[in-house]
Amino acid sequence: MSNGMWFPTLGLVAWLCCLSLGPVQGGKVLVMPVDGSHWLSMKILVKELTRRGHEVLVLVPETSLLIHSSESFKTEIYQVPFTKAELDGKFNELRTGVFLKPPAFTDMLINVQRLVNFTSLQVKGCESMLNNEPLMSQLRGGGFDLMLTDPFLPCGPILARVLSIPAVYFLRGLPCELDLKANQCPSPPSYVPVFFSGNTGTMTFPERVKNMIMSFVESYMCKIIYVHFDDLVSRYFGDNMTYKDLVSHGAIWLLRYDFTFEWARPVMPNMVFIGGINCAKKAPLPVDLEEFVNGSGDDGFIVFTMGSMVSNMPEEKAKQFFDAFRQIPQRVVWRYTGITPGDVPENVKLMKWLPQNDLLAHPKAKVFITHGGTHGIYEGICNAVPMLMFPLFGDQGDNVHRMVVRGVAEKLSIYDVTTEKLLVALNKLTYDKSYKEKMVELSQIHLDRPVQPLDLAVFWTEFIMRHKGATHLRVAAHELNWIQYHSLDVICFFVIILLTVLWVTLRCCLFCIRKCSRKGTAKRKSE
Amino acid sequence: MSNGMWFPTLGLVAWLCCLSLGPVQGGKVLVMPVDGSHWLSMKILVKELTRRGHEVLVLVPETSLLIHSSESFKTEIYQVPFTKAELDGKFNELRTGVFLKPPAFTDMLINVQRLVNFTSLQVKGCESMLNNEPLMSQLRGGGFDLMLTDPFLPCGPILARVLSIPAVYFLRGLPCELDLKANQCPSPPSYVPVFFSGNTGTMTFPERVKNMIMSFVESYMCKIIYVHFDDLVSRYFGDNMTYKDLVSHGAIWLLRYDFTFEWARPVMPNMVFIGGINCAKKAPLPVDLEEFVNGSGDDGFIVFTMGSMVSNMPEEKAKQFFDAFRQIPQRVVWRYTGITPGDVPENVKLMKWLPQNDLLAHPKAKVFITHGGTHGIYEGICNAVPMLMFPLFGDQGDNVHRMVVRGVAEKLSIYDVTTEKLLVALNKLTYDKSYKEKMVELSQIHLDRPVQPLDLAVFWTEFIMRHKGATHLRVAAHELNWIQYHSLDVICFFVIILLTVLWVTLRCCLFCIRKCSRKGTAKRKSE
C-alpha cells in the first residue's frame, strides 16, 4: 500500500473549479483588518469572497503599513489621530527592540509591554473611527450581512455589535489565549501548555507546576494587556462589559492553525482550523530568481526572512550571517534591507521583498531561516522545508518551540548568534536526514484534509451569511457566570444539604440519648 | 439576499464524481459490526469503502438479525455459543418489554437492565470468537490496515488491539457517555446535559442540581453496564485494563450526530460528525407505493415506523392508532406486522418493511411517526418532516427530548396512547405551521456542510490507513491519571508550600517575639 494513494486531489480541484462557477450574486461583507502580517492572510479570504461575487468593503486607516486599496475589493479610508511618522516610530521601536537582549526572566513582561505599547495607539485609531459620525452613519446604512475581522484589535468586534451583524473572526489566536477563554473552550492546565511556559502537551510534574503558575500569571497578564480594550468596550456598551464578553459573541472563529502545529486539545464546535491558508497559491519564480536558485546544483539553497516587519538587523549581527553563508555550499536568498558589507558572498542574493512561499515550494529549497511567525511556519510545513528559527517577539517563542519539539527545526537566539553556531545548525539541518523526514511526514499530514483551508474559510463565512449566524454552535456556557460554570453553587447546595442532614441526625441522636438517660435516671430514682 | 444562494452544490457533486474516479487500489479493512440498526448505517460506509477499491472483510456472527453476506463486501462467519432462537428470544424480550409501563422512577434502571441483559449474550459471542484459534490466526495473517467497528460491543476494540491495527469507531454514542469519557472530552455538568436528565444545554439551578446528581448516577451506572466488558478486557490484556482504557485508543470517532441534534458542547480533534450519513441516498418509490402516496392529494401522508426492531405492538394499542387514522384526511404508510383489525381503514397501507427515507423525501410527506432512533430522526431532519415521537428504550427518550425542545416534534407515551391524544398531536403537527417552519430551518442548517457525511467518513477512514493512525489528534491527557488530569497533585503541592511558608513565618515570628520578650525581661531584671 503506497502512501498517499487515495488523495482525492482530482476531486478537490474539480470542487475548486466548480466553486468558481458558482452563483456570483452575494452578500455584503464589512472587513476590519489588523495591519501587518495579520492582513496578509486575511487578504486571501477577502479576495476570494470578492471573486465569489460578494460586495466587500475593507476599512483602512489613513496611515497603515500593509493595508492598501486594491482592484479586488472596495476600501473606505478613515482618519486616525496619529501620523505615518508616529506609526512608523512605533513599528521601528518594535523592530529595533527585538535585537536587544532583555534581562533574565523579563522576556514575557517585555513582550507584554511592547504589545500594550503597540495596541494602545491602535485603540486610539479605533476610537477615532467610532467617533467619526459621518462614517458610522454610512456604515449603519450599508446593509452589511457580516463583519469579517481579526479580534487582535477591538474595532471589528465593536463595529459588529454596533451594526448588529454577526462576526466571523480570522486569527492565529489572541494574547493570553483570550480567544479560547472568550469562546468557553476548556484548557485543562494538566496537558494544555500555557503560552510562554515552554511546555508541550506531555508534561512532567515540575512542568505541570510551572504550567499552573503560568496560567495564573497569564490571567493577570490578560488584565494588563486588555485594559485599554476593556475601557473602550465598557465606555461603548456600558454594563461593565469587558472585551472578553464582547468577543465571546463571535459566530465563527477561523483559526490559522491545525494539529500538525498545535498540540491536540479540546476545541469548540465553532472553531474552524484553516492553518496553511496562506500557502495554497503558488506562482513561478521571476526569471532571475529561478536562475539563481537553479544554479545552486545539488547543494540547494536557503530561504532567509524575518517576517513582513523585520527586514534588517544591526550590522554586527548581519556580519555573523554573511560570514556563515560565505562558508557553506548552499546559495542563500535573503530578504535584507540593512547595511551590507563590501564583500557580499557570491552565493547570497539580497532582496527587498521575496516570494517566500514560491521559493520554499522549489525542489532545491533546503533550509528556511525564519523568525517563527505562523505564516512562515505553515509555508515551511506545506513545502516540507526544515527550519532554522530565531524567535523575535510575541507568540514566536512558543511557535518555534512547537517546531523544535517536533524535530523539524533548530532554534538559535538572535541575541548571541555567531557564525559558528549558525554553521553547526545549518549543517545539522542540511545533512541530518531526520529533520527532512519528519518534516515530510508533518507536511503530508497537514496537506491531507477533506477541504482546503481557503474553501473552508469561504464556506463558513458564507454559512454565517446564509443563516445569519450559527447559534446552534454556540455553547450555553456563555450564559453562566464563573461560579455557575464550575457548579460551585450546586456543590455548595450539596454541602448545605449534607451538613443539615448531619446536624439533624446529630440532634436526633442527642435527643434520644438524653431521653434514654433521663428515663434511666427516673427508673433508678423510682427503684 | 435570498437564502441558500451560494450552496456549492455543483462543486460537491463534481467532487463526489471525482471520488468515484479516484484510484481503486486500496487497503485492507476488517469490520466488526454491531447487529440491529447500528449495522444499517455502518453498511453504507462499508459499501463505499469496497466501491473505492478497499478489500473489506466483515465479521458476521452465525446467528444475526440484520448482518448478512452481500455482493458488495466479503464476510467471515464465526460461530457463537447461542442459537438463533436464543437471540430472537432476547430481541423479543426487548420488543415486548417496551410496551410495558415501568413503575415510576425505574425507567433508567429498567433501561440499564435491558441493556446488560442484551449485551451479556453478545459478550459471550465475542469471547467465543476470540477463542476461535483458527479464525484468530487467519485474521492475524490477514495483513489488515484498519479495524472499523462500533464500540457498543467490545469485540472490535479488542480485536484491533490483538491485531495491533488502528481502530476507527462508527457510532451514535455509548451508554453512560463512555465514548466521551474514554476520549477525554470535557463535559462540564453545568451546561452539558447528562443522559436521562431531561435537561437541555440551558439549565436553571434545580436543573443543574439534577444534572450533577445524574452525572454521579451515570458514573455508577457505567460500572454496572460495562462489568462484563471490563471483565473480558482485563482477562485478555491484564493490568486491570478497563473497557474505557481500551476504547480510548480509537484513532477516529465517526459520530452519527451533529449540532442540529446535539447541544453545542466541547469536542475533541478526533471526533468527526457524520450525522445524516444514512439519508443521502434516495431512490424512487416502488410504483404501487408512489401511487398510494400521490393519491393523498393536498392532505399528504404520514410515515409510521418504530425502527428496525419493533414492527408490531399489542392489539389494543394498535387499535388506538387504527381508530385515529380512520379519522384523519391524510394517508398513512405504516410498517406493521402485528394483528390487524377486520376493518383496516382505506387510508392506511401496512407494510412489512418500508423505504423510510425515500418516503420522507416525498414532497407530500407531512408527519413522521417514529420511536426516536437517531437514524429515523436524521431522515426526518434531512427531509424536513415534523415528527410525532414515541420513545421506546435506550437513548430514544433523550433523542426525542432534543427534537421536542427544538419545536419540530411532539412526544407521546406509548404506554397510555389513545386515539384522542393521537388526533390532537397529529392535528398540531399538520396544521400548526411552526413545526414545519422550524424543521425546514433545522434541515437547511443540517444539510449546509462543506463535505457530505459519507465522504467525510471515507476521508478519515482512508486518512487513518494512509498515516497508520492519527496520533497528532490524540490528547496527552490519555497518559494522565484522574488526580494528575485535575491537577490535584499540583494543587496539593501548592498547599504544602503555602503551609510550609506559613509555618516557617509563624515560627520566625514566635522566635522573634520570644527573643524580644526575653531581652525585655533581662533588661528589666538588670534594671
Instruction: Record the cell numbers describing residue A314, joined without a space.
Output: 544591526
- The H or E element that residue A351 is part of is strand A348-351
Nearest by CB to residue B10, choosing from A18, A212, A476, is A18
Under an 8 A CB cutoff, do A185 and B475 touch? no
Q: Chain A to chain B, count of Cβ pairs less than 8 Å apart?
A: 236
* Lowest-confidence segment of A21-30, A449-458, A475-484, B357-366 by average pLDDT: A21-30
Residue whose grid cell is 433523542: B399
Residues of A in contact with B491 (CB under 8 A): 212
Under an 8 A CB cutoff, do A466 and B448 touch? yes
pLDDT-based confidence at A25, cuts 50/70/90? low
Under an 8 A CB cutoff, do B487 and A188 touch? yes
Question: Which is more confident, A488 or A94?
Answer: A488
Q: What is the 3-state secondary structure (H, E, C) of B457-514?
A: HHHHHHHHHHHCCCHHHCCHHHHCCHHHHCCHHHHHHHHHHHHHHHHHHHHHHHHHHH
* Lowest-confidence segment of A175-184, A240-249, A318-327, A515-524 by average pLDDT: A515-524
**Across residues B398-409, what is the average pLDDT?**
96
Average per-residue pLDDT in chain B?
Answer: 90
Please give, rounded to a whole number of angstroms, the shortest distance from the CA of B446 to a CA of chain A. 10
Structural domains of chain A, with CATH: 24-279+452-479 (3.40.50.2000), 287-447 (3.40.50.2000)
Above pLDDT 70, what percent of chain B? 95
Above pLDDT 90, what percent of chain B? 71
| Residue B21 pLDDT > 50 | no
- The H or E element that residue A147 is part of is strand A146-149
Give the pLDDT score at A8. 40
Residues of B in contact with A486 (CB under 8 A): 188, 190
Give the range with max mean pLDDT: A309-313, A487-491, B24-28, B85-89: A487-491
Average per-residue pLDDT in chain A?
Answer: 90
| Residue A112 pLDDT > 90 | no
| Residue A509 pLDDT > 80 | yes
Give the pLDDT score at B26. 85
pLDDT-based confidence at A2, cuts 50/70/90? very low
In angstroms, how far is the first alpha carbon of chain A from the final one? 99
Give the range with max mean pLDDT: A66-75, A136-145, B79-88: A136-145
Nearest by CB to residue A477, choosing from B4, B191, B267, is B191
Distance from CA of residue A60 to its chain's centroid? 21
Residues of B in contact with A475 (CB under 8 A): 191, 201, 263-266
| Residue A18 pLDDT > 60 | no
Question: Which is more confident, A42 or B240?
Answer: A42
* Lowest-confidence segment of A116-125, A227-236, A331-340, B253-262 by average pLDDT: A116-125
Nearest by CB to residue B266, choosing from A52, A186, A465, is A186
Under an 8 A CB cutoff, do B205 and A16 touch? no
Please give, rounded to a whole number of angstroms, the shortest distance from the CA of A462 to a CA of chain B. 7
Under an 8 A CB cutoff, do A23 and B6 touch? yes
3-state SS, residue B283: coil
Under an 8 A CB cutoff, do A208 and B459 touch? no
Lay out the sheet containing B167-171: strands in order across.
Answer: B74-78, B55-61, B28-32, B146-149, B167-171, B252-255, B271-273
| Residue A17 pLDDT > 70 | no
Question: Which is more confident, A104 or B88?
Answer: B88
Under an 8 A CB cutoff, do A477 and B263 touch? no
pLDDT-based confidence at A189, cuts 50/70/90? very high
Please give, rounded to a whole number of angstroms, the shortest distance from the CA of B301 to a CA of chain A. 30
In angstroms, how far is the first alpha carbon of chain B from the final one? 99
pLDDT in tens, A113-155: 888 887 888 888 899 999 999 999 999 999 999 999 999 999 9
pLDDT-based confidence at A24, cuts 50/70/90? very low
Contact between B226 and B366 (Cβ < 8 Å): no
pLDDT-based confidence at B240, cuts 50/70/90? confident
Give the pLDDT score at B88. 82
Neighbouring CB atoms inside 10 A of A239's CB total: 8
Residues of A in contact with B19 (CB under 8 A): 8, 11
Instruction: Give the span between the Cα atoms of A333 and A303, in whole angstroms.
Output: 5
ipTM at complex level: 0.91
Distance from CA of residue A55 to its chain's centroid? 27
Report the chain A residue with the minimal C-alpha distance to residue B13: A15
Please give, rounded to a whole number of angstroms, the shortest distance from the CA of A253 to a CA of chain B. 14
| Residue B6 pLDDT > 70 | no
pLDDT-based confidence at A195, cuts 50/70/90? confident
Nearest by CB to residue B267, choosing from A208, A267, A455, is A267
Under an 8 A CB cutoff, do B259 and A269 touch? yes
pLDDT in tens, B343-373: 899 999 999 999 999 999 999 999 999 999 9
Under an 8 A CB cutoff, do B14 and A10 touch? no
Question: Which is more confident, B91 or A17?
Answer: B91
Taking alpha carbons only, the member of A225, A239, A75, A229 closest to residue A158 is A229
Give the pLDDT score at B97. 80
**Across residues A76-94, what is the average pLDDT?**
84
Give the pLDDT score at A60. 92
Question: Which is more confident, B280 or A210?
Answer: A210
Select the residue from B24, B271, B459, B472 to test the A interface by mutation, using most A Cβ atoms within 10 A: B472
Nearest by CB to residue B476, choosing from A191, A462, A472, is A191
Give the pLDDT score at A10. 34
| Residue B480 pLDDT > 80 | yes
Nearest by CB to residue A476, choosing from B191, B487, B494, is B191
Question: Which is more confident, B474 or A519?
Answer: B474
Residues of B in contact with A29 (CB under 8 A): none
Give the pLDDT score at B25. 54
Under an 8 A CB cutoff, do A6 and B18 touch? no
Please give, rounded to a whole number of angstroms, the shortest distance from the CA of A26 to a CA of chain B. 7
| Residue B1 pLDDT > 60 | no
Residues of B in contact with A448 (CB under 8 A): 463, 466-467
Give the pLDDT score at B521. 77
> For residue A79, what are the contacts with CB-CB under 8 A and spacing of at least 6?
A62, A128, A129, A132
Question: Which is more confident, B497 or B25?
Answer: B497
Question: Which is more confident, A366 or B100?
Answer: A366
pLDDT in tens, B107-136: 778 878 888 887 888 888 899 999 999 999
In this structure, the strands spanning B387-389 and B409-411 are: parallel
Residue whose grid cell is 523585520: A310
- Helices B453-467, B9-21: crossing angle, 10 deg rounding: 40
Distance from CA of residue B197 to its chain's centroid? 17
Burial code (b: 16+ CB inside 10 Å, e: under 16) for B25-60 equals: ebbbbbbbbbbbbbbbbbbbbbbbbbebebbbbbbb
Residues of B in contact with A275 (CB under 8 A): none
